[in-house]
Amino acid sequence: MKYSRTFILGVLNGVLFNLAEALIGGTAVLPLFVSTLTGSKVLVGLAGTMSQAGWYMPQYVVAGFIEHVRRKKPVYVWAGLVRCIAIWTIAILVPVLAGSHAGLFLVAFFVLYSIYTLGAGVAGISFMDIVAKAIPATRRGTFFGARLSIGGLLSVLAGFFVRSVLNSKPFPDSFAILFIAAAVVVTAAIISFSLVSEPEAAVNEKRIPFKKFLRRGPRLLKTNRSYRTFFIVRVLLSVWSMALPFYILYARDELRLDPGAAGVFLAIQMLGFVISNILWGSLSNRVGNKIVLLLVSGIAVISPLLAVLSGRCLWLGNAWCFGIVFFFLGFTLSGIRLGQTNYMLDVSPDAERPTYLGFMNTLLAPVLLLSMLGGYIIERTSFEALFFAVMGTAVLALLMSFRMDEPRLRSKTP
């Protein structure tokens, strides 16, 4: 089967970004890093989900400026340059400031990491538009599945690299190595997608006044039932994600596991990514993305449930057994990413795709920052209270998923 140059470069881009996520990701390494600098679990929660929230936050505003533009790739390239500068600056500052001036470094880190993640959001609209134009709907499951699966295999190896670095190097040298490695990988990822060929496609030639454009998003929620139901499911799954930065802290603080276990957890989580993508990619291509989101909402209950049980079952209280929690995190997160992305592309008309993508993503950004609330819940109650809360949102997401339409079936109706 012949694959286009854009397909190959797009997969390479995703593989590298998944590898970078493994090196400094928000479910293992980043929470440990920030918790070493501060005792505030609110800040730990913020750092753990900034990459997702920053990716979503600027997209509706960006969509208003680029929807009428035929070529979106220049936006990706310039945003990528900003991201490279931000991540390299963090990598350089870790060994210089993190050990001796933790407070000053924290301020610099959050500013620079915000720039890095917001740059991802600016690039995200152009990226998704190029992918939608270049990759047919029946191949997008394979496309995104390959990005996650191959990236997951490399990330399994990265997990053991993370474990080795954290166990053998003192703070902050250990994290400096991880950030420098991530900066190299991010730079390569951005260069790879900057080399794709962007196809022509229909656009709204006349730019809509920005105030009028802003009113279009709320109208979509009001008039488009499929879009509205999908939005509710995404909100619920985003609330579920507010516990993500705290599984590793639970293992360290409550189960007294060694920080180096983060590498083991990361490897097992990526294994869940790889195995599940065989399922998710096949279902997305052959059946559609409603079934992906429905199944993944049910599976989302497993990780918080196992985390709660680990405090009561001795056999779960070691690194390899508690890794089951991270296996199902990887299983769930890969399904959420693949299912949500492809469902959004299926439901969005070509000419208005930036509006559909940008409005929903920007509206979801504040929800993703709820990990700060997760940190507050832990400080005021317990880890278990947070895990029970996110189990409830997963159940609600499952119930709402039954009400979603399958856009591909609708498009076949005469």
Whole-number pLDDT of residue 185: 95
Place of tokens 């299912």: 339
- SS3 category, 58: coil
Residue 406, pLDDT above cutoff 90: no
Residue spans per domain, the chain: 5-197+222-403
Place of tokens 């939005």: 231
- 340-374 exposure pattern, b = at least 16 Cβ within 10 A, e = fewer: bbbbbbbbbeeeebbbbbbbbbbbbbebbbbbbeb
CA distance 295 to 237: 12
CA distance 376 to 407: 39
Question: In what helix (H) or strand (E) does residue 43 lie, and over which residues does it extend?
Answer: helix 41-56
Tens-digit pLDDT profile for residues 201-259: 655 556 666 566 667 667 777 777 888 888 899 999 989 988 988 998 888 888 887 77
Report yes or no: 268 and 327 within 8 Å, Cβ to Cβ.
yes
Q: Which CATH architecture has domain 5-197+222-403?
A: Up-down Bundle (1.20)
Two tokens, residue 319: 């690194």
- SS3 category, 390: helix
Report yes or no: 165 and 181 within 8 Å, Cβ to Cβ.
no
Report yes or no: 55 and 126 within 8 Å, Cβ to Cβ.
no
Two tokens, residue 251: 């293992």
Tens-digit pLDDT profile for residues 29-83: 888 899 889 888 888 888 877 877 777 777 777 776 766 666 778 889 999 999 9
Nearest by Cα to 225 from 327, 369, 347: 347
Mean pLDDT of the chain: 84
Tell me the backbone φ, ψ of residue 289, rounded to 5 degrees: -100, -10
Q: Evaluate the omega torsion of the peptide bond into residue 218 and state whether it is cis, within 30 degrees of 0.
A: no
Other C-beta atoms within 10 Å of 331: how many?
25
DSSP codes, 214-247: HHHHHHHHHH-HHHHHHHHHHHHHHHHGGGTTHH
- pLDDT confidence bin for 387, thresholds 50/70/90: very high
Cα 267-372-276 angle, rounded to 5 deg: 30
Report yes or no: 166 and 319 within 8 Å, Cβ to Cβ.
no
Tens-digit pLDDT profile for residues 153-166: 888 888 889 888 98
Two tokens, residue 2: 């012949």
Tens-digit pLDDT profile for residues 340-378: 888 887 877 766 777 777 777 777 777 877 888 888 999
- pLDDT confidence bin for 413, thresholds 50/70/90: very low
